[in-house]
Amino acid sequence: MEVFVTRKIPKVGLSEITGRYDTEVNPESRRLSKDEIIQGVKGKDALLCTLTDIIDEDIIQEGTSLKVISNYAVGYDNIDVDAATKKGIAVTNTPGVLTDATAELAFGLMLTVARNMVKGDRFVRKDSFEGWDPTLMVGSELKGKTLGIIGMGNIGSAVAEKSAAFGMDLIYHNRSRVESVEKELGADYVEMEDLLERSDFVSLHVPLNEETNGMIGWHELEVMKDSAYLINTARGEVVDEEALIEALRSKKIAGAGVDVFADEPYGANPDYYDLKNVVLTPHLGSASRRARGGMARMAADNLIAVLEGRVPENIVNPEVLEEQGDRR
Ligand code: GLV
Ligand code: GLV
């Protein structure tokens, strides 16, 4: 069996693959071009890729021997899953292991933007600090504030759980109601408009798909309180960035914490850079040693399971496995 790996992932996972299969790993610390990925998948039985690799129909067509695309990420919007399914290729992802890392980053962004920590850091480094000041960079606490969570999956639920420690009131919106957060955390299920109107912090935890693309646009930002903050650790395209940038510029909302960008994998929108009421981080949601190690193990396990004819723990398109079984 032959495997193509687009980026070096932590050894705990990578060595599981290289120890078993004839493996080609991109030796460089950079994203490969589409042509390089096409060359890479030719004749390979498995592809291990990251969320910066756009695995479109062209690549899938060229991977004529592929049995599995193992994504080193929980989100799989970078992969044309329908095209993979049509070709009988299993697509797997890495949910669960990065839940707390991402939820913690969401709180980090809430605290950082609401308490002016990045602005304060810049201020001190400019040698502008002349001692404690009763009115300097006075911000907003989390305690007693309403947190509106949009998307109550694994990560949304972890954010909900952690919000209890900060003494926040919880409301949420999701495709379907989640009884456990209502019962255990007293979260109220509300309609989208209601959530936007009432929340002091709105935190996004939906996957990117046709339904969620652009779900926060100018109208949604207009409905939010002037004093509210928007936190996005999901995917850039969930928010209409032009609208958000305008809302931040005109102080329609108080601020934002943004970890993900519509221009990924190429970068971020430079129009953010001059705004003082936004904190920007470079897609760090899963960037903890524990999460990245767990993702590596999981991505390797998923890939190996498919190649060995077993059902992987995390499969996005389970319908292809029956088909693969028939072909064996
Ligand atoms: C990170 O954004 C992931 O989807 O794993
Ligand atoms: C005001 O918003 C505060 O939280 O202190």
**What sign does the dihedral 242-248-253-254 (CA atoms) show?**
positive
The CB density around residue 267, as the number of other CB atoms within 10 Å, is: 9
Is 70 exceeded by the pLDDT of residue 327?
no
- DSSP notation for 178-195: -HHHHHHH-PEE--HHHH
> 141 CB under 6 A from ligand 2?
yes
d(Cα 294, Cα 97) in Å, to the nearest integer? 6
Q: Which helix (H) or strand (E) holds 197?
A: helix 192-198
pLDDT given at position 323: 74
What is the residue type of 239?
A: V
**What sign does the dihedral 68-74-77-81 (CA atoms) show?**
positive
State in Å: Cα 160 to ligand 1 middle. 19
Structure tokens at 174: 């999701």
Q: Per-residue pLDDT averaged across 192-208, rounded? A: 98
Q: Provide the 3-class DSSP secondary structure of residue 300.
A: helix
Residue ranges and CATH numbers for the domains of the chain are 2-95+289-327 (3.40.50.720), 99-280 (3.40.50.720)
Task: Give the model confidence (pLDDT) of 67-98 as tens digits.
Answer: 999 999 999 999 999 999 999 999 999 999 99
Confidence of residue 208 (pLDDT cuts 50, 70, 90): very high
141 annotated active-site: no
Structure tokens at 67: 């049995």
Confidence of residue 16 (pLDDT cuts 50, 70, 90): very high
d(Cα 103, Cα 188) in Å, to the nearest integer? 19
Confidence of residue 324 (pLDDT cuts 50, 70, 90): confident
Q: Provide residues with CB under 6 Å of ligand 1.
A: 51, 73-75, 98, 285-286
235 annotated active-site: yes
Distance linking the first and last C-alpha atoms of the chain: 14
Smallest-distance ligand from the CA of 294? 1
Task: Give the model confidence (pLDDT) of 248-292 as tens digits.
Answer: 999 999 999 999 999 999 999 999 999 999 999 999 999 999 999
Task: Give the model confidence (pLDDT) of 102-152 as tens digits.
Answer: 999 999 999 999 999 999 999 999 999 999 999 999 999 999 999 999 999
